[in-house]
Amino acid sequence: MIGHLLAVSLLLPALTANGCPEKCKCVQSTVICRGRRTIPDDFPEKSRILDLRKNYFPTISSRAFTKQSSLAHWTILPGKLERFFLELFKFVLSLHHRVQNIFLNQNELETFPNDLFSHMENLEKLNIEHNKITTLVPEMFRELTHLDELEIKGNPFGCNCDLKPFTNFISARFSLKEMPSATCEHPAQLKSMNIIEGVSLANCEETIVPNFDLLGESFRTKPSDITVSFGSPVFFPCSADGSVSWTKNGVVINASDRVNIISTGLEIPKVVFSDSGEYTCSVRSSEGKLTASGSLKVHSWPVLLSQNNQKLEKYLGGTIIAICKFVSNPRATVTWLKDGKRVTRSKRVKITGTVDGFAVESTLKVYRAGQKEAGIYTCNARNPDGYASAQITVIMKKPVKPVILSSTVDISFKSGDTVEIPCDVFGDPLPSMWISKDQKKIISGGRYSVLEKKLVIYDAREDDSGLYICNGRNYAGRESKPVEVLFTKNTSANRIADRIHDFGLIGGRDVEQIVLTASLNVRRAVNQTIARLKKDSATPEVPVRTLFALAKFPTRPGLKKAVAAEIFEETVRLALQNLEPSKFDPDAEVKKVANHLTEQDINDLRELAGCDEHQLVPNCEENMCFHKKFRSIDGTCNNLDNPLWGSATTPLKRLLIPIYENDFNEPVGWNDINYGSKPLPSSREVSLVLLKGHSWEPDPDFSGMLMQWGQFLDHDITLTAMSPSSTHFGRNTLCRDECTNAAPCFPIRKSTQETDRLHHDEIQHGCLLIPSHVASKLTQLHLLSTPQMYTGPTWRLHEINPHWTGEEKYLETRKIIGAIIQKVTYNEWLPKILGEDGMKKLGNYTGYNPRENPSVTNVFATAAFRFGHSLIKPVVKRLDENLQPHSVYGDLPLYKAFFNPYQLFKRGGIDPIIRGLVFTGSKDKRIELNGPMNPQLIERLFESSDRVALDLGALNIQRGRDHALPFYSDWRKHCGLAPVSDWSDLENDFENEVVEKMKSLYASVEYIELFPALVLEKTIHGTRTGPTLQCLLVDQFRKLRSGDRFWYQRPGEFSPAQLREIEKITLGQIFCENGDDISKMSTNVFLMSAPQVPCEHLIEQDSLDLEKWTETCEHKIIVQ
C-alpha cells in the first residue's frame, strides 16, 4: 500500500472522452482532480494537462497509463516515493519511450535500478535533486543519448571510489557550464566540496579490492560488447592491478580530444562510424600479459543532422531554398518529395549535394516560386541499413509594395544644426531604403550618416538645403517621396550677440564662438568620461565606482538632453566670464546672472545650446488607437492634452522657487558665503553629526520588505541620471582629483572631525532627468527579476486568446503587471508608511483628472522619498526553509552586498533573501536619538579596495543642494504646518538632543536642510513619517494616482471581473509563485504579525484567473 500523497502532472495528447470525470474540474485544456482514490479513465476531448495532486491512491494499476501512449512530460512533485512505487514507475516508463522530461526531485529515494531509464533515448531533462542518493553509476545514463540537463544537487553523496566512475562520466559528458552541480556529504573533511573535486582527492587505488570470483584473474572490471547510435557516448570499463593499455583492432590507442583514457576505463563522448571495431584492454601481471576485449558497433542507418519540421515563409516570385543533412555509413542517397510526389529537376528547380566524410547535405532550390510551389517538402535519405526523413513546410506569401510612412513636412535648419531627414519605409518583405539629392544616392561618411529610418546631417551648412528624395524598393515595386530642407538665418545668435555687445564683451568675440567653445568643452569632457568608463569596465575586476557610474549614466535620449543642458550652462558661464571688469559690482560676493543677462538672453542661449530641439511634444493623434488602450513605454501621451506630463527624460517638477547663490545654477554652498553668521557646514559633517547611527533595533511591526518595496518604487519613478561628465569642463582634471567647485563637479568637503583621511565623494553638478527605462510602471522588484512574471501570464493569454499577436499578449501582460504593482503599493504598502491618518489625507480614488500633472516633483525624488534609507539594516538576513538563520551561507553584511551579484546567484539564490526580508523586521527609524541611518551607509557605501567608500547621507544632502531645494522651514509653510523662526519652535517635532546638534551646525533655524530634517522629525503614531514628510508623500502619491489615465481602478480600464482578480493578488502570493523553492509565506509580507501559511494556500486562493481576459471577438491593436 502506498500511504503517502502522490502528485502527478501529465501532459497528454488530445483525448476522446465525453464529460469531466467525477471529483474533477475541467477548465479549457486542463483537468484537475482532487480527493480521488483511482486514476480517472475518461477526459474531455481537448484535454492536454492532467493534474492529480492531492489525491490518495492506495495502489496503482499497471494499466493506469497505458492509454496515454504519447506521454511527453512527467512530473513527480515532492512526496515520499517508496521502492514499491519506483518499480511500478519503471514499468510505466517502459510504455512511454517518448518521455522527454522526468522530475523525481524532493522525494526520499536512496537508490535507482540501473535499467530504470532503459529505452528512454528521447529523454532530455532528468531531475533527481534533494533525495537521499549516496552514489550513482554511469550505466544508468548510458542510453540517454539526448540528455541535456541532469540535476543532482541536494543529495548526500559519499565522495569515495564508488562514485568515481560517475564523476568521470559527467566530466566527459557535459561542458563546464552545463556540468551538474552537487556536493559531498561525507567524509567530513570533504563536506560541501564539489563531488568531482572531492572524489579526485580519494585514494582509489588503495581502496578498490579485486573480485577474482566474479571478474576473472587480475581484472576488477572488463569491457563488453556495445551497440550505439551515431553521436552517442561510449564507455568501456577496465581496471586491474598493474599498468593498463588499450588497442583498437590491434593498434595502440592514445588519449586525444575525442578519446579519454582514465584509470577506470576508456571513454568516447561522441562516437562516429570510424570508431567501430574491437577494443582490447591489456594488463601486465606476474603471470604475463592478460587481455579483455569488447566490440563497438555504431548503427549505420541514416541519422538526421539538420532540423526537422522546418517552416519556411517565402514571397511570391522569390527563391525557395530547402536544406537537409544526414550522416550514415555507407553514405545515403537523398531524394526529394513534394506533397508525396517526387521532385524532378527543371530550369526552375535545382537539386545539389555536398559530401563531407559520412555526411551528405542536399539543397533544393526553386526559382521564381509561385503559389503552386507551396506545400510539404520531404527529404528522404536511404542506405542498405535503413532510412530517415525530414519535412519542410513552405508557405508562399504575397509581397506588399513599399509605403513611405514618414512625413513630407518641410524641414528648416540653422547653420551648425544637426538635421534629421526622415525616411521610414514599410513593406513586406522589408524594402531597401535610400535617400538621394540631385539624383545622387547619399552614403554614410563625413557629415552624413544614413541610419535605418533617417538621414542625419551634422554641422549643417547652407548648401545642404534642397530637395531630398526618400526611396524604398522590394519585390513588389518601388516608392518615392520628396522632403524639402530649407536654410534659415540664426536670428537668436544675432539678437544675443547685440545684447552681449551692449554690456561689454572682452575682445568683441562672436557669441556663436562662445557656444562653440562651450560645446567643445562639454563634449570633450563627456567623451573622456565615456572612454574612461569603457576602459575601467573592461578590466577583470571592475571598480565599484565604475559600476555605480554606469548604473547612473544617462540613457541615449537622456544623454542628448543632459549634454544640451550642460552646453547651455557652460555657455552662460563663458559669457559672464568674458564680461569687462568694469561691468561688475566690486563689492558683490557672487556674480548674479540676472544682473547681466535678461530672460530673453537666457532663452536665446538655451536655443543656441540645443535644449529646445530635445523638448519636442509628440503628436498623440498619429497612433490614437494605441494610446487609448495602452501606456507608452516612455510615458508620453498619458495626458492627451499635455503629452509630456509624467513622461521620461523630462525635468522634475518644482513646487517652490529654487534657491541658487547666483540665482541661476550655483547651489547653496558653492561659494564661500555666510548663511546667517556662518557658512553652511559640509554635507559630510551634517551626515556625521545628525544622521550616523551607532546601533540599531529591528522594527517590531514592519518587515524588511517595507524598505525593499520602497526601494523598488524609488528606482521605478524617481531614478535620475547623473551628469554625463566626471571631468571638469575646460580642463582635463577629474572631479575626484580636486576640491574646486567648477562645473560639472560639486565635491563634498571632509568634516572638521576628520583629520586622518580625505573623504572625497562628489556630486556631478548639472541637469538631472528621469531616464527612459524608469517612466513605465513595469520595473520589476529587484529581488523578483524572474521570467515567470511575464512568461507565465503571456503563455496563459496565448492559450486563452490564440488569435492575439505576440505584441498584443505582451502589452496585455504588461498592463496586468502594472496594475498589480499599483494595487500592492496603494493597498498593502502605503498604509504602513502613511498610517491611518495619512491614508485619510490621501483619500479614496475618485477618477482620472486630466488637469492633474502626475510628474514626479523635485522635492519628492531628491529628499522625501529617500526617507527609506533610514529603514535599511546593516545586514542582509538569509533564512532557510524553516525560517532559521541559513546554516551554510548565514547573514551578509550590507557593505559586502553592493554590486555583488555573486552573493545572490552562487550563495543560496533568491529564496533565503526573500525569507529574510519578509520574516525579519526592517530597521526601526523611530529611534532618532541614535541617528536614523546605519553606519555602513555612512562609512562603507560601495566600499572598494582602491577608493574611499561613499557616504549616502552626505550624498543625499549634497544632492538636495544641487537640486536647489529650499530649506526645511519653507517646506513647513508649503504644507501648512506651524512656522519655525526660533529653535524653540522645533520642540514639538524634534527631540531636544537633535535640536542641540542642529544648533551646532546651522547659524539659524531657517537654514536647516530638508533631508536630515525629514528623517529626524518625530514620527506620527501609527506611521513611519513625521508631519512634513507625510505631507510631501501624500501630495505626490495623490497626483500619481489621479493624474494617471491608465490607473487600474479607472472605469473601463479593466472589466469588473478582471478588477476583482487584480484586487485579490498579494505580494506574498507573487513570491510563492516566482521563488525557487518557497514553501511558506506571510499573508501580509509587510507586517511582522501577519500569519504564516503554506504557499499552496496562497496560490490556490490568490492566483490570477486569466480566464477573465478571454476575448470572444477578434480585435487589432495598432502598436506604437
Residue numbers in the known binding site for heme b are 869
Closest listed residue to residue 466, CA positions, set 452, 484, 489, 450: 484
d(CA 421, CA 460): 12
C-alpha cell at 910: 533568491
Q: What angle do CA 717, 718, 722 make, to 5 degrees?
A: 135
Matching residue, cell 522632403: 483
**CA–CA dist 780, 776 (Å, integer):** 11
939, 754 contact by CB (below 8 A):
no
368: left (phi over 0), alpha (psi -120 to 50) or beta: left
CA distance 73 to 10: 6
Count of CB atoms situated within 10 Å of the CB of 1056: 8
Strands (E), 43-179: 49-51, 73-76, 101-103, 125-127, 149-151, 157-158
How far is it, in rounded angstroms, from Cα 813 to Cα 315?
33
| Binding-site positions | 869
> 996: buried, middle or exposed (CB in 10 Å: 19+, 13-18, 0-12)?
exposed
Q: C-alpha distances in angstroms, 604 versus 491, 565, 612?
A: 9, 13, 10
Rounded to whole angstroms, the Cα distance separating 861 from 960 reads: 10
Q: What is the DSSP letter of 1106?
A: G
Q: Is 186 exposed, middle or buried (0-12, 13-18, 19+ CB in 10 A)?
A: middle
Task: Give the Cα separation of 708 and 1002 in Å (integer).
Answer: 33
- Which residues on adjacent β-strands are paired with residue 168? none
Which residue matches cell numbers 508608511?
Answer: 833
Question: CA-to-CA distance for 679 and 754, rounded, in angstroms?
Answer: 18
Q: Are 853 and 959 in contact (CB under 8 A)?
A: no
What is each CA distance from 278 to 295, 298, 823, in whole angstroms?
4, 12, 70
CA proximity to 631, closest of 616, 646, 617: 646
> Angle of helix 1067-1074 relative to helix 1095-1102, nearest 10 degrees?
110
* Longest distance between any two alpha carbons in the chain, whole Å: 114
Rounded to whole angstroms, how far apart are CA atoms 544 and 920?
29
Cβ neighbours, 10 Å, residue 914: 27
Rg (CA), the chain: 36
